[in-house]
Structure 1
């Protein structure tokens, strides 16, 4: 991908950049807006659903509380109390009389609470109920209600039974039953007041508080893990997780994944009259977020339109921008053909014009540099010639050949052979096949042959030391004949007048990418400060042509990175250190 982008023209890159910028900006903005609105809608829907549930639960609790109050009023009435006294005394003779007396309280209770479908007081002397309601063939002990009573804990006062078909009366309506033990001065075993509440009435009560939307409500029993209303018995098959969630607290909200992998937002609140009954509100998350989905499609449409506009605008902009660049490119093509007199002209003062002016200045500098290079090359050639002239110094050759002659006269053939070989190697290494750059190995070998010859010419003048050098440094490229002039300078100016033998030491070191070559002697020394001023051009009087020549060659080839460091303590130590950057190793 990177290679493809690099091969594109500038115009094509501008197109791609505009399109990418447009797509990224709209995508980031659209994603942020989409996520923000999704979260906000989810939060608001959860809050609204919880508020609706709280209101519905309050109304539902109030209705159940009114029913309980109505039943309590019935039980505190005189007809009911007389009936309980007969039950206590097991007096069944007054059954029909008491049944007749109970009709008025029954009618009053059902008139006050129209949600009550039927009522029955089960006692050991008989069942009491409104006579207009026809009893079914089921005996109380065979009914679903009696089974619930037998399963209930021992200490109970009120039982709520979820939606079921009424087995006590022949109408068989779907009802929710309230079972209450009688309010009497003493406990009467086997006596229960059963109030059947119309299930459809309570369902309408719940649905009446729902606004238009996707929110749905149902009531479930946490103790039995079933719906309270029989019409809501078809809960999801994997509703175990649902009941585990609503069993955690009295109210809350969570996300629920149905068996068909549809996400739902669920709110719940426990009813005050029966904490086991929980009012649940649920709504489809996908339907709730449908506006967000429409918004995403709108964003994609806007993105497509903006991409087209970006292509058109980038094409126009690239034409405007590339016109001066094309002009500058044509000028560069002419420069490639060595037409250095061309110049860029523009009436604008923008960045491209600044580049054009820099181009004009660069052409001027190139012309100046060409002249400087010519002068520099001439200086290099002169320095090389001086180096070669120093190598074949007549005085050195005279002394060397004279020594060879006398040694041959004295028949010291081995010394003669050695000196001839050293002289030959000295010239061969110095010539270096006409190349200016040699290796550190060959440069050290060159100066070693020179020292060997001079030591034979002046047998008692000096001794020399060349410590072993790290093999990794031996192939580093260096200028040829940069050590021999320093050694010659030590012999001629430092050791000639010493009353004792001198010592010349050549050391090599490397650190932080720099190579350091040091020539040290214990000769008469020099004025290091004055020589450094001379080398830097501050002193016009030249007193050391060898040092000047080496310093000039270092500067020509390595520039400011190279340096020559001088130290001198007469009679103790005089050292010249050449510092140069380590360049690529030459593989021999």
Structure 2
């Protein structure tokens, strides 16, 4: 049958004398923040001013942020609307260019040329070139954005003779790798220098396959239409509201379709910037450039060429510049409120501190050892409640003084008993007697080891007069004790010590906690046991607590008999364990505990739990 008894130590209240309390305060005072050194009046003033400034600041900052957010959101929506209109205009121009180009392919002259292409008739080349001059001129007249047009066929290349073609470059050299791609009818090219003509300036190009004529598809026939980049740039910027907003026409891979006039926004070519276009055909986002400036960006893809994206960029700082006046207005209001709070705080602090000053004067009299003073007030407020508790405190002081003296006496008594426990005459007699007979038997090595162990046992137990030791020192102390007992009682028991967390070694604990428990196992647990005894000591930490466990496989015991002085050997066991309990209670209070588990003929386990401080 298992018997379990949990002993929860009583809480002892420690009191220091007035001199000690003052010394502690003086020692800690330099570590306290200057705010706590101020008078209560100054603290009330400071907190009142802080509260006023905090409220004004929160209101002003929230208003500023809300206004900034609203302006930013409205600006993004307005820019998106303008951007969509610009995209529609650009799409309309591109669509008109495509329509004009296909209209060029529907006239009779082009049809006649395609017939010669179908027959591979090169004899009419110059005649066809002359006839197409009118068509090329009409194409430019219908669509002023068109700069040059170039038609390549197996029977020859056709162009306007006024455009000065470049004889050093051929169509295949510039567009040969593109026409080999599958599944296209029109293909757009961004800003580049045309190699087909000797023109100055960059152009945008449209590459087309001819339309089907008389159900006949012509291979190796392509038309290139070049548009003036400057004219396209003018279309891009004609709907801008102000010079703070910049429009760009970019390819989704980051290349510029139309080069901007200025290079103030080099970041538009950065990969992180162009990756934003993959979110959809239209949207907005905020981008921070290399200079740390936030830019508001809107984008929308063209319907005529979904790989082309029109981008609107505006500096967030430029957009929010009108809010600077609001910011300064908030600052001025804060300064005015601070000055007003300075004046009102003095009146408020004086009114609140009047009853406290009365209570303070009474406390000064108590410091002069006048314990007969009492606080009286006609008000029933918090200060009066403190005063009444002050009166009850004075009534309890004399009683507490007596308890302090009693507690200090108990503490010294238990400390003396702890030292007496480790020099138990019975243990010392057995140890010295064993050393004598081993010396007589010539076992000098064992005698030397026992002398060293006994010396270390006493040195570790004394611990330079300190009550606190480390877990590592406590383990060494109990090891010396068990080694001496193994010499005195050979083949009686073996022991094992397990430490779960290496950090436990450095934890500070009350000294001589394990030795009384081990002594109980050896003298009483193995007293009538024929088998080899085993003592297992486990030490581990569980959060902010340290767990000390001493277990044995002894004959077990009735836990209730530990404290019965008339029971056989109960006096000695009760003396050692009650002394241990008393020392734990005095030092740790009710946060430490001892738990006993014992079963007859099975063994006993004692667990001590103490806080880690």
The correspondence for 1:308, drawn from 303, 326, 339, is: 339
SS at match of 1:46: helix
Give the SS at the match of 1:236: helix
* Structure 2 CA distance for partners of 1:99 and 1:199, relative to 1, 3 Å: same
* Structure 2 residue aligned with 1:161: 189
The alignment status of 1:74 with 2:101, answered yes or no, reads: no
Out of 258, 267, 274, the position equivalent to 1:236 is: 267
The separation in 1 between residues aligned to 2:282 and 2:393, in whole angstroms, is 84
Instruction: Report if the CA contact (8 A) 1:121-1:129 is conserved.
Output: yes
- Residues 138 and 167 of structure 1 are in contact (CA less than 8 Å); yes or no, is this contact kept in structure 2? no
Shift, 1:298, TM fit:
4.4
Pick closer, same or farther for the CA change 1:330–1:233 going to 2, 3 Å: closer
TM-fit CA distance, 1:340: 8.0
Larger Rg: 1
Match of 1:205 among 235, 250, 254: 235
Equivalence map 1:183-198=2 (5 Å): 183-185=211-213, 186-198=216-228
- Closer, same or farther: CA 340–215 of 1 in aligned 2, 3 Å: same
How far is the alpha carbon of 1:470 from its aligned partner? Answer: 5.8
Which of the residues 259, 265, 282 maps onto 2:290? 259
The match for 1:60 is: 90
Residue 209 of structure 2 corresponds to residue 178 of structure 1:
no
Q: CA–CA distance in 1 between the matches of 2:252 and 2:375? A: 91
Displacement of 1:64 in angstroms is 0.5
Whole-Å separation in 2 of the counterparts to 1:277 and 1:127: 29
State the distance in 2 between where 1:341 and 1:240 align. Answer: 81
Relative to structure 1, is the Cα distance of residues 198 and 15 closer, same or farther in structure 2, using a 3 angstrom cutoff? Answer: same
**Deviation sequence 1:329-354 (CA, Å, 0-9, x none):** 567768989798999799xx7959x8
TM-score (norm 1): 0.54
CA contact (8 A) 2:268 2:274 kept: no
Partner of 1:138: 167
Is the CA contact (8 Å cut-off) linking 1:90 and 1:124 kept in structure 2? yes
Residue 112 of structure 1: CA displacement?
Answer: 2.3
Query: Number of residues paired by the alignment?
Result: 380
The 5 Å alignment of 1:6-405 reads 6-131=36-161, 133-141=162-170, 146-155=173-182, 156-185=184-213, 186-212=216-242, 214-222=244-252, 225-231=254-260, 235-236=266-267, 239-291=270-322, 295-296=326-327, 298-323=329-354, 326=357, 351=381, 355=384
User: Which range is displaced more, 35-44 or 115-124?
Assistant: 35-44
Q: CA RMSD in A?
A: 4.2
Identify the range of structure 1 (34-43 vs 239-248) with the bigger mean alpha-carbon deviation.
34-43
Is the alpha carbon distance of 1:366 and 1:38 closer, same or farther for their aligned partners in structure 2, counting shifts above 3 Å? Answer: closer
Question: 43-52 or 115-124, which moves further after superposition?
Answer: 43-52
d(CA) in 2 for partners of 1:294, 1:344: 57
Shift of the alpha carbon at 1:41? 3.8
TM-score after normalising by structure 2: 0.52
Q: 1:473: how far off? A: 5.7
Cα shift at 1:268: 2.1
CA distance in 2, matches of 1:148, 1:288: 44
Cα drift, residue 57 of structure 1:
1.4
CA–CA separation in structure 1 for the residues paired with 2:177 and 2:221: 13
Deviation at 1:16, TM superposition (A): 1.3
Separation of aligned partners in 1, 2:311 and 2:227? 20
Residues 232 and 247 from structure 1, CA distance in 2 versus in 1: closer, same or farther, beyond 3 angstroms?
farther
In 2, distance between residues paired with 1:154 and 1:362? 96
Q: Is the 8 A contact 1:218 1:232 kept in 2?
A: no
Q: Deviations over 1:226-246 (max 9, x none)?
A: 101144696439612223332
Instruction: Compute the displacement of 1:12 (Å).
Output: 0.6
CA 1:163–1:325: 2 relative to 1, 3 Å: same
Deviations 1:5-54 (A, max 9, x none): 34322221111111221233234334433444444444333333333322
Instruction: Give the Cα separation in 1 of the matches to 2:104 and 2:393.
Output: 116
